[in-house]
Structure 1
Amino acid sequence: MNDLEMPALSQEDMELWFGQVTKPGSRLLSHGVVPKIQPKFVSCNFAEKTVTLSYDVLEWELNPQNVIHGGIIATAFDTTLGLLAHYYTKPQVITTVSLNTTYHKPVFLGHTFHIKAKLEFQGRSLCNITGEARTQKNSVLASSATAVFKVLREIQNNPLI
């Protein structure tokens, strides 16, 4: 295989990639806002084009009403949905075009929520991805999101793994 060929995508490859990207010390968790929200890999399904990451609600993430700030949830959606876009478009660079988030129920300090992202459409230059955030304790739908990601022509000089 030469440098321009991509390995075949598979369930095994997907599990390995997400495990590496979200492990402590990875490039993703080395700088910026993402290490602060501490995403953890839960599962993925190559056939269904889904990934699930978990997030613990931390004290610094609370709004004045003592529930997680909506901006933190939006950041978690952008991270989870964006990583799924990265996986299916690698080695291209992607950027978020739009992220629409709907908040259904509050999530409290000490709780954990899981975001499950699903690739709905992948074209030559755009990816549409949906997501749901559910509480770990009783699987209550806390938030939902839709996002569009633009696939740029540039190749990642510093891949996530």
Structure 2
Amino acid sequence: MDGQQTMERYLDKTMYENNEQQKETVNGRMRSVRIGCSYEDTSITLGFPVQEWQANRGGMMHGGMICTAFDITAAAIARFCAGENYAPTISLDVKYIRPVQIGDQLIVTAKATAAGKRITQIVCEARSKNTGKLAATAASVYMNVDTTKEKR
């Protein structure tokens, strides 16, 4: 099996874990959908339907929910890069550009820019599916924790 096939199988497993095994958590309630992945680019793209419960007082997707979509997507590529290791979020810096309407779909792409033994750095973009316009960007860092040597 080549790297692309390995990543696709990994993403299928991740989607099942998020949407079925964790359906009562925020990961499951976000109802992410697989858009695609690229082993060559070390990237994963997920879609997030913008739901009523995610609205802020202005009737748009709450910034915290955009941040959550970034974390879910970036964590997926961080865990892929970490292999069997645990990969907790160390930092997540979000820049909001424009609002996303309820009923739209937020399309998030996360790309690992550096994947080392201990740290994975990731950049993200979120776009409105309806308009194609950039809604937010993010930069995040994840730590690769060897679970055979360290406790979570």
Q: TM-score, normalised by structure 1?
A: 0.86
Partner of 1:109: 102
How far did residue 23 of structure 1 move?
3.2
- The size of the alignment, in residue pairs, is 147
Partner of 1:72: 65
SS of 2:103's equivalent in the other structure is coil
Alignment match, 2:113: 120
Q: Which runs of 5+ in 1 are unaligned?
A: 1-7, 156-161
Q: Aligned AA for 2:75?
A: G
Matched, 1:45 2:38: yes
Describe the superposition over 1:5-29 as per-residue Cα deviations: whole angstroms up to 9, x where unpaired: xxx76101111211222137643x3
User: Aligned pair in 2 of structure 1 residues 93, 31: CA closer, same or farther (>3 Å)?
Assistant: farther
Give, as a single letter, the amino acid of the residue that structure 2 aligns with 1:108.
Answer: Q
1:88 and 2:81 matched = yes
Do 1:104 and 1:141's aligned partners in 2 also have CA atoms closer than 8 Å?
Answer: yes
Unmatched 5+ stretches in structure 2: none
- In the superposition, the TM-score normalised over structure 2's length comes to 0.91
Which of 23, 39, 64 is the aligned partner of 2:16?
23
Same amino acid, percent of matched pairs = 27
CA RMSD of aligned residues (A): 1.6
3-state DSSP class of the match of 1:66?
coil
